[in-house]
Amino acid sequence: MDKNKKLLILSGLIIITLIIIFLIFFDRDKINKNPEEVPTAIVPVFLDDSEKQQLGVPVDMEIQDLGRGDNGELLYYRVVKDETDIILDSTEVPPASPRRN
């Protein structure tokens, strides 16, 4: 019985050691899936009333400017319903989708 008890304790220690090693080396939070994508802070910029009128949206609606073309045309924007919708990190900008005409 003493031999079985030692074997059980040894097996438990080996399993715990393997779990610890797995957690240390395979921590998903530390692995950056896209190393080129480094988060940068974005200063939120919102559209003015004339730009909202050009888009045909109500003037009282908050719209965050997420990107402009070389000639200053608005390429990407986000409708802000509350403060949690404001994007402050470049990695949070969703990928561009093609325009539907």
- Secondary element (H or E) of residue 66: strand 62-68
Give the pLDDT band (50/70/90) at residue 14.
very high
Based on its alpha-carbon atoms, the radius of gyration of the chain, rounded to whole angstroms, reads 26
| Interatomic CA distance for residues 49 and 84, integer angstroms | 22
Query: 27-58: per-residue pLDDT in tens?
Result: 655 555 555 666 677 788 899 998 889 888 89
Domain boundaries, the chain: 1-31, 45-92
Query: 59-87: per-residue pLDDT in tens?
Result: 999 988 888 888 888 888 888 898 888 88
